Amino acid sequence: MINRTIAPEIRIPKEVPIQSAETITTSCGIPLHVIAAGTQDVVKIEFIFAAGNIAASQPLLALATNDLLDEGTQKHDSASLAEALDFYGAYLQSENGPDWSGVSLYSLNKFTQKTLPYLTELITTPLFPEKEIETYRNQGKQHLAVNLNKVDFLARRNFFNCLYGDEHPYGRMTELHHYNAINSRELSQYHKDKYLNGLKAVFISGKPDQETIQSIQNTIEGSGFQKGTLPEINSIFPDPGKRFIKKADALQSAIRIGRRLFNRKHPDYPAFSVLSTVLGGYFGSRLMANIREDKGYTYGIGSGIISHLHDGYFYISTEVGAAVREDAIREIYKEIGRLREEEISTEELNLVKNYLTGSFQRNIDGAFNLADRHKMVLLNELNNNYLNTYLDRLNAVMAPDIKNCASRYLQESDLSEIVVGQ
């Protein structure tokens, strides 16, 4: 008979091998990174532009340009472009972030030579036809109107607004009327300024053949792309604040608590990221254990630390039963207070390091995940050996570091608090 009360032995790797990206420097100086891995005969091709919200003078401009790239080019109208890509089973994914904008093509290898020209076309010669913009306006307004009825959406946007203010691209809020303001001329101009003159890098992942890599290099070199960089916005940031937004019929209240912080380049980043995991970064975290698994106030609660190129922030987020809102907030501050006052036990710290080691392994598993990690390093302008030294930095974090971080960065007066609901 086996003794089921004894846990099997475990081993936690202190280093893991990481496949590096093969980097091709093109004649225009824009890097092309190739991550060849995986078992499937597919490829993902991602063009990244310095064209996210921070590059745009108006709300919605960056998003709308990104969303409407595939709505017609000099050669093909919207419908024939869609039909051609659909016919070859390909997918387009456009992603507009606070800093960067990306366009990805997912294609079966056997059709890449057919699908790639359409990708090239829509990133180099989009037309932004007024008729398609009108459809997009209707879609966007409806989508936003629905979101404005969701407590978590309202909490999130008010949180950013509270941290960064009305003027900063990270803080300004998109309203329904902004959809009326977008027009073909402005989108075309934004495309010219930030896409044609703003290519940051290109990533190919999956199992690309040599011909595909060569074709993409030709696209980069032959389309007149210029290298792009992001502006740094010097802003006066608002003081931490509290907002309560009443939504009378809400069954749950959304809560966001957090602050502006630093990004991955900061020396305290490793310790703070461990702190954030201890607090709310995994299923066994203190917030989950207390607010969900002990009190049953919520379906889920989490915290995280997000890096931008020139900034970063920390947040705690949850939706709780309206009747227990005050209790939940009190417990959140109590858990933050414990981090400031008590040193974390070796046992808990090791558990979190082990968990993060596993997360790191999962995050580099498979071609697309691995490409995303390499992309993160490049876009955050980190050292080339950042991934290879990740576990060293993680394992160097000690209990006093976490307590110091909490004292330094998580005083209650540092934190902003948003509640939406009742």
Partner 1 sequence: MIPFEKFKLSNGLTVIVHEDHSTPLVAMNILYKVGARNEDPDKTGFAHLFEHLMFGGSVNIEDFDEPLQNAAGENNAFTNNDITNYYLTIPSQNLETGFWLESDRMLSLAFTEKSLEVQRSVVIEEFKQRYLNQPYGDVWLHLRPLAYKVHPYQWATIGKEISHIENAQLTDVKSFFKKWYAPNNAILSLAGDCTVQRAKDLCEKWFSSIPPAEIQHPQLPQEPEQQQKRVLDLERDVPNSRIYIAWHCCARKDPDFYATDLLTDILARGKSSRLYLQLVKQHSYFTDINAYTTGELDKSLLIIEGRLLNSTSMETAEKAILEVIESVKENLDERELQKVQHKAEATLEFNEMGIDSKALNLAYYELIGDAAECNRQADYYNRVTRAEIIATAKKIFTEKNCSVLRYHAKNN
Name which of residues 42 to 81 contact partner 1 (CB under 8 A).
Answer: 42, 70, 78-79
Shortest Cβ distance from residue 90 to partner 1 (Å)? 7
Q: Is 104 helix (H, G, I), strand (E, B) or coil?
A: strand
Torsion, Cα of 378, 66, 231, 389 (10° steps): -20
Residue 13 binding partner 1, by CB under 8 A: yes
User: In the set 296, 334, 381, 412, which binds partner 1 (CB under 8 A)?
Assistant: 296
**With CB under 8 A as the contact rule, which of the stretches 47-55, 255-263, 358-366, 397-405 interacts with partner 1?**
358-366
Size of the site for partner 1 (CB under 8 A): 77
For the segment 315-334, give every residue that binds partner 1 (CB under 8 A).
319-321
For the segment 177-236, give every residue that binds partner 1 (CB under 8 A).
none
Residue 293 binding partner 1, by CB under 8 A: yes
**With CB under 8 A as the contact rule, which of the stretches 89-97, 159-167, 235-243, 332-340 interacts with partner 1?**
89-97
User: In the set 111, 262, 333, 386, which binds partner 1 (CB under 8 A)?
Assistant: 111
Q: Is 35 helix (H, G, I), strand (E, B) or coil?
A: strand
Q: What angle do CA 315, 335, 398 make, to 5 degrees?
A: 85
Residue 237 binding partner 1, by CB under 8 A: no
> What are the tokens at 394?
């993680």
Q: Is 127 helix (H, G, I), strand (E, B) or coil?
A: coil
Neighbouring C-beta atoms of residue 262, cutoff 10 Å: 17
Of 161, 190, 166, the residue nearest 50 (C-alpha)? 190
User: In the set 103, 116, 119, 151, which binds partner 1 (CB under 8 A)?
Assistant: 151
Looking at the Cβ atoms of 1 and 236, the one nearer to partner 1 is 1
Residue 282 binding partner 1, by CB under 8 A: yes
Shortest Cβ distance from residue 23 to partner 1 (Å)? 22
Looking at the Cβ atoms of 292 and 308, the one nearer to partner 1 is 292
Complete edge-to-edge strand list for the sheet that includes strand 42-49: 22-25, 31-36, 199-206, 42-49, 101-108, 91-96
Looking at the Cβ atoms of 146 and 173, the one nearer to partner 1 is 146
| Cα–Cα dist 202/48, whole Å | 6
Residue 400 binding partner 1, by CB under 8 A: no
Residue 368 binding partner 1, by CB under 8 A: yes
Residue 298 binding partner 1, by CB under 8 A: yes
Which residues have CB under 8 Å from 69's CB, separation 6+?
94, 103, 122, 123, 126, 191
Q: What angle do CA 362, 365, 369 make, to 5 degrees?
A: 95
| Cα–Cα dist 196/192, whole Å | 5
Residue 11 binding partner 1, by CB under 8 A: yes
Residue 117 binding partner 1, by CB under 8 A: no
Residue 40 binding partner 1, by CB under 8 A: yes
Residue 146 binding partner 1, by CB under 8 A: yes
**With CB under 8 A as the contact rule, which of the stretches 104-112, 302-310, 394-402, 408-416 interacts with partner 1?**
104-112
Looking at the Cβ atoms of 159 and 368, the one nearer to partner 1 is 368
Tell me, what DSSP letter sits at residue 125?
A: S
Shortest Cβ distance from residue 10 to partner 1 (Å)? 4
Q: Which residues pair with 260 in a beta bridge?
A: 313
Of 329, 228, 339, the residue nearest 274 (C-alpha)? 339
